[in-house]
Chain A
């Protein structure tokens, strides 16, 4: 009889009421050390990678790279990618790949631009822009839960939104939106001449990632959202309205896209109706670097943030060395492919070790 094999069902308490209660299970002690290390590398490897990149560039681009000012430059450059990556990433984690983000961003910034150029207050413009994101998310979500593939649906809405943005702008742009400077080029916490201050987008990104991470890992709605990404039918069978969470996932990615659009508008003080597909590609690259599985239900926002930071770090370091900018894309692509390979190797060796561990437990017992 097995006594420590894990999947045991203890003696029938009803018929033998004095049966000894099972001893409390030791927390995770039964996992081999090597597996824990590998799992750590799989889940936290991207932080290690980023650290290595920073060290490498610090030497290679000395003395310009490893400086506070340059760090702020990188953070600011990563900010927009990070916002969109958060949108795409949360979408993928919750089981919906939202490709309409560039369109949502364009419409949100044009709606905001329209409101501001018609003399309305700044808060109303921002609220209208973010409201656009909510509306797009609800529409995407309501169509998708009718049983359509989210990728196709959002390609459709991307097309609709790109057109709508141009209609709102009447073929032009909305220039001179200087009211938005406080969330664009403005720097806060400046300390005399020694410290030039932290750019506004960095604060926005920090807020989004802190709130998003806490939401997805600590709150009921966030955990259900992740669970829907992992196995929507299982969540439905557990008695939860899984469809509502699918819509919520789209709304979150819509709002983040709108926020991204508003921040880019603020940086250049001009609302542009052109939906740039480049946005979605760099966001997807950051998400993929972060190891967010396209199958959903897995992934973490801090890693997505580091993914965006890695992209910015590479292009910053190469720019300092005067390397042509297109080499940056070559590098990030190669890095992405390499990370895929490494993840595959780690995953295979985790499974192998787990299997070997199970076997040895077996042999010890029998």
Chain B
């Protein structure tokens, strides 16, 4: 990695509290364009919280966020989206009663041409068509576009949520994609295919952070591992050559932090 390159996303000194619970403690984190970083940690380690800070869903109590070297204060996910950050949430964040096309296009609906469009009428047909095209382009398949999300299986929902963010981020080469357990509900084959999608998007130059409990997936797709334990960063190392036992030790807390070792 060249020293002159600017990270796509860089967080420094991030602290985050839920009431009195300190969920994140002085976290430094970065991801380069085209890099896939795996964010690991046990349940409740603070992975989702850190990702939500990056996506603008949460405001950190302390710390700064830089996107391509420029400092940003994200007040809402729309600010992060404007800066090119898209996130797939662990709870998927889909609108259950609406159909797949509406969910994919939420916030960037296609309006009809002519006077009806000026009145804000949407063009459902065009949205369905373009959504199908986008999904084909990503190599992703789900149910018919007119199916409400509440009638999808867990895996189908996950694919819809992933596709929504992937579509939004894949246009721009400077995009940043945050994935919170993107394969939790997927079977073996689908997981392999999401892996391929992640690699392909990284090859386009998109910076990707993926939270997962699936270590084999991590070794398969990530370039670097960052490990959290109880809200602190305990390890940050290249995936190639990372010892599995050490990684598991950092995740469970049985192994002392890399950074504590360095300090002592």
Contact = CB atoms under 8 A, between A and B. Distances in A.
B193 A227 contact: no
B186 interface: yes
Interface residues of B, number: 55
B259 interface: no
B144 interface: yes
Given A230-B96, A358-B153, A240 B106 contact: yes
Contacts of A237: 55, 57, 77, 87, 89, 93
B159 interface: yes
A26 interface: yes
B95 A231 contact: yes
Contacts of B199: 12, 14
B190 A9 contact: yes
Interface string B190-215: 10011011011001000000000000
A236 B194 contact: no
A262 to B, nearest CB: 26
Interface in A1-16: 1-2, 6-15
Contacts of B138: 13
A223 B102 contact: yes
Interface stretch (A17-25, A58-66, A280-288, A335-343): A17-25
A118 interface: no
B144 A26 contact: yes
B146 interface: yes
B151 A227 contact: no
Contact of A13 (B77, B89, B132, B137): B137
Given A12-B196, A235-B95, A240-B106, A219 B120 contact: yes
A157 B145 CA distance: 42
Contact of A9 (B77, B87, B159): B159
A238 interface: yes
A161 interface: no
Contacts, number: 145
Interface residues of A, number: 44
B141 interface: yes
A218 B121 contact: yes
A239 B109 CA distance: 12
Contacts of B13: none
A330 interface: no
A10 B140 contact: yes
Contacts of A230: 95-98
Contact of B143 (A12, A13, A25, A240): A25
B248 interface: no
Contacts of A28: 144, 146-147
A233 B77 CA distance: 10
24 contacts: A1-B189, A6-B142, A10-B140, A12-B197, A13-B137, A22-B136, A22-B139, A27-B144, A28-B144, A28-B146, A218-B122, A220-B109, A220-B122, A224-B106, A227-B102, A230-B97, A231-B93, A231-B94, A233-B93, A234-B93, A236-B76, A237-B87, A239-B76, A240-B78
Interface of A: 1-2, 6-15, 19, 21-22, 24-28, 30, 218-221, 223-224, 226-227, 230-231, 233-241, 297-298, 354, 358
